[in-house]
Amino acid sequence: MSKVFELIAKEEKRQNETVELIASENFVSENVRKAVGSVLTNKYTEGYPGNRYYGGCENYDELENYCREMWQKVFDTDYHVNVQPHAGSQANYAAYMSVLKPGDTILAMDLNNGGHLTHGSSVNFSGKMYISHFYGVDDNGFIDYDGVPARLREVKPQVVMVGASAYSRIIDFAKFREMIDAYNAEFGTDCKMIVDMSHIAGLVAAGEHPSPFGIADIITTTTHKTLRGPRGGMIFCKPELARKVDSAIFPGSQGGSLMHVIAGKAIAAEEALTPEYKEYIKNVVINTRVMCDKFIEMGYDIITGGTDNHLFLVDLSKTFPNVTGKQVQDKLDEHGITLNKNCVPKEARSPKETSGVRIGAAAMTTKGWKPEDFCKAAERIDKIIREELA
Ligand SMILES: Cc1ncc(COP(=O)(O)O)c(C=O)c1O
């Protein structure tokens, strides 16, 4: 047997035997995997439906259009959608490129406060191509909405990026829109609002989080987190930006599209439209809250004191000042529990060490875990931290 299949078998075993609490991961259906592993990987389809650079694309045209229509249905929107981004980072790359020139300014959530690398980090293209400034969270860990108007006036951005990788509360998209509109009115500018809903897209689809549609100019997302599709990205935009967004993806930043992945995205959209998916997302939110409450009951500090979505952040800095997020991550790995270290607001340690961990319930809810299973896992984690690390 090829070494590759040996490794895939080992990974399948690992996935079956470990407790997966990484907030950005999930388990896709057999059908998504079938689509992604299909013959569609054999074909070059540069361009868009009806306008390809290669012959033989008729099935792909129909598939890509179907995928696009299905995602519009999922989010009940007439926003234009591009399903070609290879990943969330590529979606953000093209979203910026469609409305910014290199050297323009973006205002986004600070990485240490829960933002993402592609939201202006100095080690990422977004912080190298654009001048990036940040808003953050207040002393309780909630987005500091009150500080945003002053930041807008100070840094005069052309784009405000709204969204996060590690934020456990509802994001008030309408409030951001109001603040951006007021700034544009005061300065006669045309600052665009981009929402990166990668983490919460599944909650938006199921009505468990307010929707950014009708509010943001551009919306980007990954497809593999709470949306439970294959690894990939998508961009939605107001119809007037469609041409710019499409050309920022192809030919702007990508070549041939990954049609096998687009097929997987279409299956994920079909699944997201079912009542079972809505029930699944409801359960994700309940399970996250129950597990978070269990940690609070056991004396842990939770950033913002709770959660509204599929994840929460444990701050170890006061309860276990000598224990780092990395130590917890590594120790739990030894016990077959997977989660990730995470910075806490006003983090004193480096991002490689951190004083917190991020915990999510989307993956184990897919595996059928109930609230009591999440409570037991919280107790196990507490025991390991107390007995083996503190
Ligand atoms: C908010 C957010 N945006 C973008 C991305 C990037 O997605 P990808 O890893 O597919 O490039 C992530 C990934 O974790 C994310 O959390």
Q: Which domains does the chain have, with CATH numbers?
A: 30-272 (3.40.640.10), 275-389 (3.90.1150.10)
Exposed / middle / buried, residue 298 (Cβ in 10 Å: 0-12, 13-18, 19+): middle
Ligand 1 site, residue 196, Cβ cutoff 6 A: yes
Ligand 1 site, residue 133, Cβ cutoff 6 A: no
Which pLDDT value is given to residue 113? 87
- Give nearest CA residue, ligand 1 atom 9: 88
Which pLDDT value is given to residue 158? 98
Distance from the alpha carbon of residue 116 to the mean position of ligand 1, in angstroms: 7
Which pLDDT value is given to residue 161? 98
Distance from the alpha carbon of residue 194 to the mean position of ligand 1, in angstroms: 14
- 231 catalytic? Reply is yes
Each of the 390 residues of the chain gets a pLDDT tens digit; together they read: 899 999 999 999 999 999 999 999 999 999 999 999 999 999 999 999 999 999 999 999 999 999 999 999 999 999 999 999 999 999 999 999 999 999 999 999 998 888 999 999 999 999 999 999 999 999 899 999 999 999 999 999 999 999 999 999 999 999 999 999 999 999 999 999 999 999 999 999 999 999 999 999 999 999 999 999 999 999 999 999 999 999 999 999 999 999 999 999 999 999 999 999 999 999 999 999 999 999 999 999 999 999 999 999 999 999 999 999 999 999 999 999 999 999 998 889 999 999 999 999 999 999 999 999 999 999 999 999 999 998
Ligand 1 site, residue 199, Cβ cutoff 6 A: yes
DSSP state letters, 64-126: HHHHHHHHHHHTT--SEEE---SSHHHHHHHHHHHH--TT-EEEEE-GGGT--GGGT-TTSHH
- Kindly state the helix (H) or strand (E) to which residue 190 belongs, with its residue range: none
Which pLDDT value is given to residue 1? 87
Which pLDDT value is given to residue 319? 96
Using DSSP's 3-state secondary structure scheme, residue 338 falls into strand
For the sheet with 356-360, list strands across it: 301-302, 311-315, 356-360, 340-342
Cα separation of 278 and 261, whole Å?
23
Which pLDDT value is given to residue 247? 98
Which pLDDT value is given to residue 19? 98
Distance from the alpha carbon of residue 198 to the mean position of ligand 1, in angstroms: 6
- 44 catalytic? Reply is yes
Which pLDDT value is given to residue 346? 84
Which pLDDT value is given to residue 386? 97
Which pLDDT value is given to residue 33? 98
Ligand 1 site, residue 163, Cβ cutoff 6 A: yes
Phi and psi torsions of 143, nearest 5°: -55, 135
Which pLDDT value is given to residue 239? 98
CB 58 within 8 A of CB 43: no
Strand duo 192-196 + 159-163: pairing: parallel
Distance from the alpha carbon of residue 195 to the mean position of ligand 1, in angstroms: 12
Cα separation of 105 and 13, whole Å?
46
Nearest-10 crossing angle of helices 325-334, 371-384:
110
Ligand 1 site, residue 226, Cβ cutoff 6 A: no
- 265 catalytic? Reply is no
Distance from the alpha carbon of residue 315 to the mean position of ligand 1, in angstroms: 22
**Strand positions, DSSP E, the chain:** 19-20, 47-48, 51-52, 80-82, 105-109, 131-135, 159-163, 192-196, 218-222, 233-237, 301-302, 311-315, 337-338, 340-342, 356-360
Residue showing tokens 């934020």 = 167
**Relative to the CA of 163, which ligand 1 atom is closest?**
1
Phi/psi class of residue 304: alpha, beta or left (left: φ > 0; alpha: ψ in -120 to 50)?
Answer: left
